[in-house]
């Protein structure tokens, strides 16, 4: 149990630190709605604030309602992820790592929601006028973790 807790703290801790560090840099050096081309025509650093959920879900709703809904579900998700993490047997280290990534990403975005009521996004991928919604390091960790989890489901490698 001790080594599993250390693994959780290492993986999720690195994600939270990278996420919060990059967001501090964006908040400090990139004005809101400004962009810096990294790979012209494909990838920019663009400072946006997302008051909603994934893809701007509920971003236009009442701020108090949005705050209650997102904080409730964020804390619920963090608790469930921890439960899944500690229920994952040692025979599935990649799955445990995936849950630790999801946990770290959820905590990173939860910190923004508690501090600011919205999440700082800045990774902006596009081709021409086709833009993927901007995201951040926490979102990336969540997506990669969910991808690993889905691979386990598809390969039927989930613990029984």
| 59 located within any domain | yes
For residue 160, is it within any domain? no
Per-residue pLDDT of the chain (160 residues; tens, 9 = 90+): 799 999 999 999 999 999 999 999 999 999 999 999 999 999 999 999 998 666 556 666 676 777 778 788 888 999 999 999 999 999 999 999 999 999 999 999 999 999 998 999 999 999 999 999 999 999 999 999 999 999 999 987 545 4
Q: How many CB atoms lie within 10 A of CB 108?
A: 26
Asked whether residue 13 is domain-assigned, the answer is yes
- 103: domain range? 2-154
Task: Tell me how many domains the chain contains.
Answer: 1
Judge whether 44 counts as a catalytic residue: no
Determine, yes or no, domain membership for 159: no
- C-alpha span between 8 and 23 (Å, rounded): 22
Question: What's the rounded Cα separation, in Å, for the pair 13 and 70?
Answer: 22
Say if 86 falls within a structural domain: yes
In a domain, 66, yes or no: yes
Told to judge if 112 belongs to the known catalytic residues of this protein, a careful annotator would answer no
Which residue among 44, 112, 124, 139 is the active-site one? 139
Task: Output helix, strand, coil percentages for the chain, rounded to the nearest 5.
Answer: 60, 15, 25
Catalytic residue among 19, 112, 121, 124: 121
CA–CA gap between residue 22 and residue 100 (Å, rounded): 20
Query: Which pTM value belongs to this model?
Result: 0.89
């Amino acid at each position: 149990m001790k080594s599993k807790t250390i693994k959780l703290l290492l993986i999720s801790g690195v994600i939270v630190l990278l996420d919060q560090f990059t967001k501090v840099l964006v908040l400090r050096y990139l004005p809101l709605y400004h962009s810096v081309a990294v790979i012209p025509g494909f990838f920019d650093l663009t400072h946006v604030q997302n008051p909603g959920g994934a893809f701007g879900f509920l971003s236009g709703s009442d701020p108090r309602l949005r705050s209650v809904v997102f904080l409730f579900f964020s804390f619920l998700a963090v608790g469930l992820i921890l439960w899944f993490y500690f229920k994952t047997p040692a025979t599935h280290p990649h799955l445990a790592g995936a849950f630790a990534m999801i946990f770290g990403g959820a905590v990173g975005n939860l910190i923004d929601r508690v501090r600011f009521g919205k999440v700082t996004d800045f990774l902006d991928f596009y081709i021409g006028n086709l833009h993927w919604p901007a995201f951040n390091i926490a979102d990336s960790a969540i997506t990669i973790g969910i991808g690993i989890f889905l691979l386990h489901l598809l390969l039927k490698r989930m613990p029984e």
